Chains A and B, each alone.
Chain A
Amino acid sequence: MAASVPPGAPRQQPPPPPPNYNPNLQQNPNSLSDNFQNLNLNRPVSMPNSGPRPTPFAQSPQFPVTAPSPPMSRPGPPPPGALSRPAGTPQQSFPPNVAPVRPFGPPVGQSLPFGSRPPPGSFPSSMGGGGPVGVPTSGVPPSSAFPSSGSLTRPVGATPGARPFPLASSLPFSSGLNVAPSGASDGVTSNGPMAFAASGGPRFPPAGSGAQQTRTPPAGPPSMLTSARSPQQSPSMRFPPVQQSPFSAAPQNAPPFSSAPPFSAAPQNAPPFSSAPPFSAAPQSAPPFSAAPQSTPPFSGAPSFPAPSPQGPPQVSPFGAHTWSAQPVGPSSSIPGSAQPSRMFGMPPPLQTQTMTNMPPAMGQTGAPMPASSKIDPQQIPRPVPSSTVVLYDTREGNQANPPPPATSEYIVRDMGNCSPRYMRCTISQIPCTNDLLTTSGMQLALLVQPLALPHPSEEPIQIVDFGDMGPVRCSRCKAYINPFMKFIDQGRRFICSLCGFTDETPRDYHCNLGPDGRRRDADDRPELCRGTVEFVATKEYMVRDPMPAVFFFLIDVSMNALQTGATAAACSAISQVISDLPEGPRTMVGIATFDSTIHFYNLKRALQQPLMLIVPDVEDVYTPLQSDIIVPVSECRQHLELLLESIPSMFQNNRTAESAFGAAVKAAFLALKSTGGKLLVFQSVLPSVGIGALSAREAEGRSNISSGEKETHKLLQPADKTLKAMAIEFAEYQVCVDVFITTQTYVDIASISVIPKTTGGQVYYYYPFSALSDPAKLYNDLRWNITRPQGFEAVMRVRCSQGIQVQEYHGNFCKRIPTDIDLPAIDCNKAIMVTLKHDDKLQDGSECAFQCALLYTTVYGQRRIRVTTLSLPCTSNLSNLYRSADLDTQFTCFMKQAASEIPSTPLANVREQMMNLCVNALVSYRKFCATVSSSGQLILPEALKLLPLYTLGKYYNVHSFCA
């Protein structure tokens, strides 16, 4: 690993941000591209050459990893696709176009390997999600069935990379998302455009063909798997993982089909598939659409197989050979099988019609089992078509909001008054005038807000506006910030708030005459009057105290297990390497503590001597041992830090303490951070077993209870007790954000632990099973991105809406103490918040409805800023307009987030049914009210939602495997 991970190489972006540095503005040109698609991706760490090297990718993927998860998903679903086709109309099914996509798929898949872990990032459960792989065990039988489904999967595979990311971060399901059709190509490029491209090429060069071919060879499904993997492994440790994962997915599928090659090969190699077809039959019976329940059965089977845990390993396995063996089982493949039904959807609808696609009656009939297949015209299946061209996108055109480009495409935004869709996008680009209309449409109204999202390098940076002591101009009633939609009247002496409609006096200093067009003459000179996103310099009124310094506190597990697995050494080394990446300046503070059954702080400020270890032995009632000196400016303690980080692994070398006081340690570190707030980065390797918030090995109970049904098992996804939640709320109150890096080889009850990061705006990273060989590089990369990415502290966010609409709920990782605002002890460019909306009144047809997100935060350099993002959308009372302006990517992301949040508390069957219903309702309504021509046997899809069935299917599987 070490070799591969050239630390030096990956980092190329040292440029210290200038004081005024705007987080959003990326320094690196290269990074820009990254920004694009991989929100989640840490910066793709642009390493042109390094690309091939796993590290870069791995690293970048990490977050994205979540994205990677997609890969995982792929394995599952894709295979089915491949297989399925064979069954149905193998040869035909593959559209020529598809083929190219697939090839990419593998590369993407590579990213996946890493990805598998990443998923954890979002939710532990999601990890389970990794499950896609996990399913494998039972795999064989299922696999056969699924193979056919393969076709669908493929497209999915390609896409996964791209879309999954956005969702992935927040949603466990990301994998499901991956499935998303969005141009596979996009995915590829986006993910690590650089990385992938580079790596993908070299390694898999054959990717498409080569890889597939290799796979194909293995005839026997089981054997296939093994063989395929093994070869990969041999190539190179790092790469293998990457490749493997991609492949692994494939292999899994393959095995069942025997014609594993399905993915790549499938399209081209029709023959192999043909054999597969046999299986396909089964899946079809399950037609997803027809009824979720039906489909369920197949899935249910899958769950039974491997518990989530198995899945986990497989993912990880990439590196570890042994792990693979387990994975090979390829239960995932089984799942994929289920996917087959999806085809049905896709196939019929010819893409041609813009508004809607019709499914051939035969196809459409969900009920129709295999036989239908013959009638399906695979070429008509709507699937994501990647576009390689960069879209130039103006947010408004002709004084009208412009519907945003697909989230996964590469686009360059020109802010014409509405914000860039990167910062905020709505599920529908037109707002229904009434709640009834919305209900009828079967769609959801929600915003996805990512206030610090990375812009495209070619985009104009966000402008910073300083109103001086006066502070930004705001509506005196609703407190909305000045924006391009405020209407100035009365020679500019007054203005009408675009949100609440109240008429305000223009502050004298801000007065300006109006031009003949009714706009202020200075409108184009003032960013706040012509840009959808601006950043205001906050005045004292926006501060309850001086802006906090950038504080990074590292908390490292030094229990026996952590030492023996090398996790401690990996953490220390990663920290040691990132110290130099911390923001420059006297405001950057650092602290370190270690813990096993006691907590050890270090006094880093001893002028003449080495650091002093301060041990807090009481883990039931913790405290911080020093008021100052354990968190010191990084510039004053570099030497101490280096010495300390170097010494920690050897100091605890012979530690015999197996217990871990995670909760107490986090609490103690919090107490140290309490006066300033800051980021707490915890490296944890074992189940917290003593002190505050100690947990028990629930997973054992879960396993033993599995026979009692899902009712019991899903409890494992819920936090074990409320102690940690209460702690987390306190942390958030004092602006402490906790990120947890779980480097483990055992069960650590992430469901419980994750409550802390979730509530404090943090993140979980999961390295399982931790390997001292392959993981340190990834850990380092994750940590580095965590620290260097654009971010802010002590943030408060609120979304305001025009009268008639109000915020219903916020979803994401944050703490909410009052209904209208959310508190984010830390926020970074990877964090997105979903905001659901509801009507509280009728809107005027033809008017515009505005949404404004205000994020008050402190930059790492200690400036208090307010980032204001405004989006104004037309209102409509026409149902067809709604369908036409639906934003599938956003809608689907919302579905995913909701499903993810429900899984721990709702029986799986219900969640799946709900997912199906969301899809079915929208389509039924469309058919009922908007489809002019329809025969009973036809499936009609609105153009904007044409991929909805496909995505839903992917998610469906994903959820399934996740729970398995």
Chain B
Amino acid sequence: MTEFMDLEAQDGVRMPWNVIPGTKQEASNCVVPVSAIYTPIKAFPVNNNSMPILPYAPLRCRTCRSILNPFSIVDFAAKIWICPFCFQRNHFPPHYASITDDNLPAELFPQYTTIEYEPPGPGEKSSVPPVFMFVVDTCIIEEEMSFLKSALSQAIDLLPDNSLVGLITFGTLVQVHELGGFGQIIPKTYVFKGSKDVSKDQLLEQLNFFIKKPKPSTGVIAGVRDGLSSDTIARFLVPAFDCEFTLNSVLEELQKDPWPVPPDQRSTRCTGTALSIAASLLGACVPGSGARILAFVGGPSTEGPAAIVSKNLSEPIRSHKDLDKDSAPHYHKAVKFYDALSKQLVHQGHVLDLFACALDQVGVAELKVAVEKTGGLVVLSDSFGHAVFKDSVRRVFHSGDYDLGLSSNGIFEINCSKDIKVQGIIGPCASLEKDLIAGFDQEAAAVVMARLVSFKMEIEAEFDPIRWLDKALIHMCSRFGDYQKDSPSSFSLSPRFSIFPQFMFHLRRSQFVQVFNNSPDETAYFRMILNRENVTNSVVMIQPSLISYSFHSGPEPALLDVAAIAADRILLLDSYFTVVIFHGATIAQWRKAGYHNQPEHQAFAQLLQAPHDDAGVIMKERFPVPRLVICDQHGSQARFLLAKLNPSATYNSDAQIPGGDIIFTDDVSFEVFLDHLQRLAVQ
């Protein structure tokens, strides 16, 4: 396994098959597709060997536009390099004239398989400040509003001084705040009807963009260069250090959407229109420069083109069932709207980040497309007061350790060899079966399967994910396992594959596949995170990690099984979205008795504290910040742990369990699962 980790550490890439099947046939027999999971702007540790940043433009292949890399064959004498992708022979340009075997440019060093170029652009492009457009929902109760306000004002404090800030609030109507009204006696806000989608041209017209400088008769209106006066732009996008006061005063006066909501109705919320206006405004003012729309949404959109549900409370928000049956009347329209929005944003090079905080669904399922395609962040929480939200927002703007290194406006190109299904990185190819196994990365494979099954569940109608996963696993086992036909007991898997079935078992039980208990919004949210996370984190989502703390031993990994529960143990479960600290019954009793506060029980205090410290570490690194659940055995919150455990002991198991806990489920346990798998694989 470690070699895969090393690879990830160097290049941010992991692949299920690090040996590539030689033929298409072989590849399809591999069950797990040949693929790579890549973290493009993974932060690399800074040390001597760290990735260099080259102050010049990359050298590209004449035909396939691939970039010169360590795998290129270089003829130092002829000053020629051969593109490893298309085998085109390329001449080095004059400034590579001094290249020799001893004098290699950095991009040819074998260890620099990942490298960054920072060519001196025209006019110091890096001086373009980041742009943050806050889009804030006001259809939320006062309490939520105050949470949101404080989170926002914290965020504003953290903004880089030179960044440009805009503010749009919405509810029944959309309000575009003019933050840059310098010297104005009275602050201004432009108000748009929520039910009506405004085109970019109309928007510019209505925001008085052409008052001082007439509208250019032709061409695209975008930015200062293309016809907008910088004065007008500065009305809406203001440097953070200039507008902090204004912004805070606007936030201070921000009220709950004042339109009355009849008791049998949802409040009128035009999320789609607000986002569309934000996108158009950014598109007009700062096209092509790094801008993010930060949307804070507290409920479902009920107004305008992207409504996900009607205002009438008697109509429930669509469930998975509705989506399966295609009986969600608003869904496709909304998805289409956001799809168009995502295209606009991508075209403009802008990002949509979504902070959805509500007990109800807010339409993440519909918004998913826009967030994913623009590479935005997504945070889902119950409330703007919840730590998941508050800490996540802080993380977005926080700089220093653990910062998210937000970048945007990236272009991601992948060059592939023609004959070989390789992406991004080249390894020696072999066609031998055994070697294939040797190159199998179980974790990456599990993640790929998870992404694939999620994708198929969204795209394919009537798709049965369990069946599909089972078939794939069986197929895989019969292909790569060692066994004698029809003899289940003879079945064994190579160590390279050994944990794969376990991953599949947990994947079958994960939120990605078992959607019943989740709303479409939550499912969309989980999948979006899955799709943007690296392998390690993704694996945690699929198969949570469990650590046990007790007096008998130090912290040690425990089996993700109900058997891991013991009265004198503390368990720390990390399922990515949730971190659970679970106190065994005895521990809980002691804690309630307050032993940890007594000097003679220092050890107990330390035992109690240890999982908290570890959880803190996890939460510090992770974005979105996970939800922390602290619970006791037999407590109601314990369900967060139990749901993830292998139900080796259920209410109908006979055997008495050491931990004294059982799980109320009809799900099969891992042992039964493996049993069946062995039987089926050998057939």
Q: Report which A residues bind B (CB closer than 8 A).
A: 598, 600-602, 606-618, 621, 623, 625-629, 643-644, 647, 650-651, 656-657
Within 193-224 of B, Cβ neighbours of A (below 8 Å) are at 193, 196, 198, 202, 205-208, 211-212
Chain B residues with Cβ below 8 Å from A606 are 253
Chain A residues with Cβ below 8 Å from B454 are none
Instruction: Report yes or no: B188 in contact with A615, Cβ–Cβ below 8 A.
Output: yes
Measured CA separation A610–B250 after assembly (Å): 11
Instruction: Report yes or no: A612 in contact with B185, Cβ–Cβ below 8 A.
Output: no
Instruction: Report yes or no: A613 in contact with B258, Cβ–Cβ below 8 A.
Output: no
Task: Say whether, besides A618-B196, A628-B258, A651 and B184 are in contact (CB < 8 Å).
Answer: yes
Q: List 16 A-B contacts (CB under 8 A).
A: A606-B253, A609-B253, A610-B185, A612-B186, A612-B189, A614-B188, A615-B189, A616-B191, A617-B192, A617-B205, A618-B192, A618-B198, A618-B202, A627-B259, A627-B260, A657-B211
4 other A-B residue contacts (CB within 8 Å) besides A618-B202, A627-B259 = A607-B253, A609-B253, A614-B189, A617-B206
Task: Say whether, besides A618-B192, A618-B193, A657-B211, A612 and B206 are in contact (CB < 8 Å).
Answer: no
Binary contact readout B250-291 vs A (1 if CB under 8 angstroms, 0 otherwise): 001100001110000000000000000000000000000000
Instruction: Report yes or no: A615 in contact with B191, Cβ–Cβ below 8 A.
Output: yes
Shortest C-beta distance, B240 to chain A (Å), equals 21
Instruction: Report yes or no: B208 in contact with A598, Cβ–Cβ below 8 A.
Output: yes
Chain A residues with Cβ below 8 Å from B334 are none
List of 8 A-B pairs having minimum Cβ-Cβ separation, nearest first = A617-B206, A625-B191, A613-B188, A627-B258, A627-B259, A647-B185, A615-B190, A613-B186
Residue of B nearest to A612 (CB): B187
Chain B residues with Cβ below 8 Å from A602 are 186
Instruction: Report yes or no: A650 in contact with B253, Cβ–Cβ below 8 A.
Output: no
Measured CA separation A602–B185 after assembly (Å): 12
Measured CA separation A623–B212 after assembly (Å): 26
Give the interface centre of B173, B184, B186 by most chain A CB atoms within 10 Å: B186
Residue of A nearest to B194 (CB): A623
Chain B residues with Cβ below 8 Å from A618 are 192-193, 196, 198, 202, 206
Interface majority SS on A: helix, strand, loop or mixed?
A: loop
Instruction: Report yes or no: A617 in contact with B190, Cβ–Cβ below 8 A.
Output: yes
* Set B193, B202, B258: member contacting A623, Cβ < 8 A: B193
Q: Does B66 contact A (CB under 8 A)?
A: no
Q: Does B175 contact A (CB under 8 A)?
A: yes
Q: Does B249 contact A (CB under 8 A)?
A: yes
Chain A residues with Cβ below 8 Å from B198 are 618
Chain A residues with Cβ below 8 Å from B252 are 608-609
Measured CA separation A614–B196 after assembly (Å): 18
Chain B residues with Cβ below 8 Å from A613 are 186-189
Shortest C-beta distance, B147 to chain A (Å), equals 20
Measured CA separation A616–B189 after assembly (Å): 9
Residue of A nearest to B250 (CB): A612
Measured CA separation A629–B175 after assembly (Å): 15
Q: How many residues of B contact A (CB 8 A)?
A: 28
Chain B residues with Cβ below 8 Å from A643 are 185
Measured CA separation A644–B187 after assembly (Å): 12
Shortest C-beta distance, A456 to chain B (Å), equals 48
Shortest C-beta distance, A606 to chain B (Å), equals 5
Residue of A nearest to B191 (CB): A625
Instruction: Report yes or no: A614 in contact with B191, Cβ–Cβ below 8 A.
Output: yes
Shortest C-beta distance, B181 to chain A (Å), equals 9
Instruction: Report yes or no: B185 in contact with A608, Cβ–Cβ below 8 A.
Output: no
Task: Say whether, besides A598-B208, A614-B191, A615-B190, A629 and B258 are in contact (CB < 8 Å).
Answer: yes
Shortest C-beta distance, A888 to chain B (Å), equals 56
Measured CA separation A647–B181 after assembly (Å): 15
Chain A residues with Cβ below 8 Å from B172 are 627
Instruction: Report yes or no: B185 in contact with A609, Cβ–Cβ below 8 A.
Output: no
Give the interface centre of A610, A613, A614, A621 by most chain B CB atoms within 10 Å: A613
Measured CA separation A227–B205 after assembly (Å): 54
Instruction: Report yes or no: A625 in contact with B173, Cβ–Cβ below 8 A.
Output: yes
Instruction: Report yes or no: B187 in contact with A621, Cβ–Cβ below 8 A.
Output: no
Chain A residues with Cβ below 8 Å from B208 are 598, 617
Instruction: Report yes or no: A651 in contact with B192, Cβ–Cβ below 8 A.
Output: no
Shortest C-beta distance, B491 to chain A (Å), equals 70
Task: Say whether, besides A617-B192, A623-B173, A628-B258, A644 and B253 are in contact (CB < 8 Å).
Answer: no
Shortest C-beta distance, A631 to chain B (Å), equals 12
* Set A611, A614, A628: member contacting B175, Cβ < 8 A: A614
Instruction: Report yes or no: A650 in contact with B249, Cβ–Cβ below 8 A.
Output: no
Binary contact readout B5-33 vs A (1 if CB under 8 angstroms, 0 otherwise): 00000000000000000000000000000
Shortest C-beta distance, B248 to chain A (Å), equals 11
Residue of A nearest to B173 (CB): A625
Chain B residues with Cβ below 8 Å from A626 are 258
Shortest C-beta distance, B208 to chain A (Å), equals 7
Measured CA separation A611–B187 after assembly (Å): 7
Measured CA separation A628–B172 after assembly (Å): 13
Residue of A nearest to B188 (CB): A613
Chain A residues with Cβ below 8 Å from B259 are 627
* Set B175, B186, B191, B193: member contacting A621, Cβ < 8 A: B193
Instruction: Report yes or no: B258 in contact with A650, Cβ–Cβ below 8 A.
Output: no
Chain B residues with Cβ below 8 Å from A600 are 188
Shortest C-beta distance, A733 to chain B (Å), equals 20
Chain A residues with Cβ below 8 Å from B175 are 614, 625
Residue of B nearest to A647 (CB): B185
Chain B residues with Cβ below 8 Å from A629 are 258
Shortest C-beta distance, B273 to chain A (Å), equals 12
Measured CA separation A606–B253 after assembly (Å): 7
Task: Say whether, besides A608-B252, A608-B253, A617-B206, A651 and B186 are in contact (CB < 8 Å).
Answer: yes
Instruction: Report yes or no: B206 in contact with A598, Cβ–Cβ below 8 A.
Output: yes
Shortest C-beta distance, B63 to chain A (Å), equals 52
Residue of B nearest to A602 (CB): B186
Residue of A nearest to B181 (CB): A613
Residue of A nearest to B189 (CB): A614
Chain A residues with Cβ below 8 Å from B260 are 627
Residue of B nearest to A650 (CB): B185
Measured CA separation A617–B198 after assembly (Å): 11
* Set B192, B193, B249: member contacting A609, Cβ < 8 A: B249
Chain B residues with Cβ below 8 Å from A657 are 211
Measured CA separation A657–B172 after assembly (Å): 29
* Set B184, B186, B190, B193: member contacting A644, Cβ < 8 A: B186
Measured CA separation A304–B258 after assembly (Å): 58
Measured CA separation A543–B651 after assembly (Å): 67
Measured CA separation A625–B211 after assembly (Å): 22
Measured CA separation A607–B198 after assembly (Å): 32
Residue of A nearest to B258 (CB): A627
Measured CA separation A643–B196 after assembly (Å): 34
Shortest C-beta distance, B385 to chain A (Å), equals 23
* Set A598, A615, A627, A651: member contacting B185, Cβ < 8 A: A651
Shortest C-beta distance, A612 to chain B (Å), equals 5
Chain A residues with Cβ below 8 Å from B205 are 617
Shortest C-beta distance, A572 to chain B (Å), equals 13
Give the interface centre of B172, B173, B205 by most chain A CB atoms within 10 Å: B173
Residue of A nearest to B190 (CB): A615
Within 325-380 of B, Cβ neighbours of A (below 8 Å) are at none
Shortest C-beta distance, B311 to chain A (Å), equals 15
Measured CA separation A623–B303 after assembly (Å): 15
Residue of A nearest to B196 (CB): A621
Binary contact readout B224-250 vs A (1 if CB under 8 angstroms, 0 otherwise): 000000000000000000000000010
Shortest C-beta distance, A609 to chain B (Å), equals 6
Chain B residues with Cβ below 8 Å from A627 are 172, 258-260
Binary contact readout B133-177 vs A (1 if CB under 8 angstroms, 0 otherwise): 000000000000000000000000000000000000000110100
Residue of A nearest to B260 (CB): A627
Chain A residues with Cβ below 8 Å from B202 are 618
Measured CA separation A618–B196 after assembly (Å): 10
Measured CA separation A613–B205 after assembly (Å): 18
Measured CA separation A69–B89 after assembly (Å): 98
Chain B residues with Cβ below 8 Å from A617 are 190-192, 205-208
Measured CA separation A644–B249 after assembly (Å): 18
Residue of A nearest to B202 (CB): A618
Chain A residues with Cβ below 8 Å from B190 are 615, 617
